Structure 1
Amino acid sequence: MKLIVHYNRHNFIILTLLFILSGIASYLLTKNVLLRELDESLEDSMEQISNYVQTQHKLPTHTNFDNLLISTEVTDNPVNRPILTNASEDISVKGKKHLGRTLTFAVILNQQHYNITISKPLEGIKHITRAVMLITMTMILLLVAILALMNKFVVSRLWRPFYSTLNSLKSFRLNNTSAVEFKKSNIDEFSIMNEHLQLVTSNASKEYRLLKEFTENASHEFQTPLAIIRSKLDVLIQQDNFTEEQTEILAEAYSAVTRLSGLSQSLLLLTKIENNQYSEQQELALHDILQRKTSQFEEIWEENDISYSLQVYPSIIRMNPDLLEILLNNIFSNAARHNKPGGVIHIIQNNTALHISNTGTNSALDGEKIFSRFYKEAVNNTNNGLGLSIVKQICISSCISPSYEYKDGMHLFSFHWK
């Protein structure tokens, strides 16, 4: 959910609640004020009637003039003071029933007590309160519509520099020599953000270039002395003046140097993949590449008494061709290295997946660690433990999902893509 949508949702909810509460409060206050005005009108009518009785020495006749209803009652228990209440019965005005207010008070005429009740309908109050509620709801809808338009045209425009910065960051690559350009903004917060991002991306690119140079130089410098050591060991091993024990020691040293050279090359390859130095991608005919690759490994598998089956279908995959070669080399080598004499390798490929299964140990490997660096089986320590790490890194850079499972005595590696 976008920030502006999140903001609008909360803003509209809060404002709507605020307007509703304001409308209710306005309704209650207006009704209270009008009721007070009505009560004061009834009290004025009470004074007029009291003066009329005192001056005219007679009771007012029953009337319904100007929505004012007057009734009198002879009583021996007059009310002590005027009593204001809601009318017990609806008051009829123009054929319509309305709620009303009544004022009851006592007068004395010819030594006789009378209770006089004045009633007046709440017709005007109902109309006014309805008008208040209608105006309030209209204002709510009008303000919500205005806020929606403001958010669409004003607030969205204010956030354009932010989205422009995001688009610039999407195109940022560590291996780009040119700096990222952010559009200038007259909003202080966005301007400060762009300045900090400019500094961060610049430092990241600089550190990447330094790291890249270091790894390449280190790999080159490692390979040179390793090649010298290996050549010297070759010369020593070919000499005949060594005992058997000394020859074994030299062979172990030669093997260690060879593994160290392979380890250096594998680490350099991992670094290059992680640094996105194989970013160029192409549409490749995967079925053709698999057929060619199995032909290359066929002789190796036969030498190790391993049979294989291949099922491929015409399919196109988009990735870097060098990375695809490395991935297949590592997986096919892994399937042969960890297999057994008389074992099998099954290769199945369709439009969205590649499955490679092989026989081997009779127990499952650690599925959580198998793609980790330097992970090795306890029974096999001859490899450097980076083959499957390189495979995983290739999958990450190529948007491929790798997985492993042990099923029906077979070690199954699957690769899925969209």
Structure 2
Amino acid sequence: MKITGVETKIVNAIHRNWIFVKVLTDQPGLYGWGEATLEWKTRAVVGAVEDLAAFVIGEDPRRIEHLVRKMQMHSFWPLGVIGLSAISGIEMALHDIAAKDLGVPVWRLLGGQSRDWVRVYTHFQRGKIGAQVDPKDIESYVAGVEATVAMGYRAVKLGVVPYTHYDAPIPEVKHVARLVERIRLAVGDEIDIMFDFHGRCSSISAAVAYIDAISPMRPLFVEEPIQPGDNEAMALVASKVQAPLATGERLFTPREFFDLAAHKAVSIVQPDLCHVGGFTMGKKIAAIAEIGHMGVAPHNPLGPISGAAALHFAVATPNFVIQEEARGLVDWYDEVVQHPIVLENGHWAVPTSPGLGVELDEVAAAKHPFEPEVIPAREALSADGAILNW
């Protein structure tokens, strides 16, 4: 079996363009799908996929580890998140092909079934664009959280920390404390709540102030309280607070996660299969996390093929904790791709179809062609107009 071509299909999703990767083979009807979505870098990733295709065309698609190493090592230059996202899309498609060839779901290639269902969380109002509510409006925000839980979810992640800088103003901290207390009272103790700081705090002291305000409500984790990359600083934050910390959506290589594990900086790591190199590197990162006493909660606010990949990864990963999803992001999430994700009692069911179980409806996809993304990060300004972390 040989690879004959690598194609990209772009579907606009307002704040991002989904980048779907199709790997073709010389076997009639046998091809694979992957996803390489990277917010606000669409054309760069598509170009990287085109460049990397030269490394895999003519090769056996079932030699997955071999081809991943070829794309990485023969590229000479460190690839960074753009190149690794391109590899991820191709790599997922190779797993899709290999599993279809054997007539088994992808999770069987990843070590087999580790669990009977997959714990999942969503965002406020399932992440639906246009349904956001200002956290300053406590009544409306709490109502939105209750509505999200009523959709059938047992866990929700929220962004309640304001755009901040090196300090944590007392009124802002007190407001966050009041808001999260009301949320916990509204949903009860049976619903898991996570809080995403998005790395907005520019100092350890600011991060600690907001985490201390949230900790009494027993969050499952606090995500990215400071910018990623400084693991010594993250460990220092962890030593000063009571809530479990999580990070990893903006880390990309096993070496970065190894350093995170060595510092015992967080309880949860959040690799994104669309950015780290697909399943091949995702499994290595999960193994590093397990040795470092860390669970895995993969980052996944992207498209439906990414969601399918995350599902298979979760099924097969022993130290998996909970899976992010954003199926409500845009109305056409469930229209452009047939996918195996089934929500039952707040969990995802284990898929049984061969491969990833996904198929792009190219007619439906064509209704949402590439457009320049709406970039919400432009909102991240202080009162005096200084640029802040989004």
TM-score surpassing 0.5?
no
- Say which one has the larger Rg: 1
Structure 2 length-normalised TM: 0.20
Q: Whose helix fraction is larger, Structure 1's or Structure 2's? A: 1
Which one has more relative contact order, counting CA pairs under 8 Å at least 6 apart? Answer: 2
Structure 1 length-normalised TM: 0.19
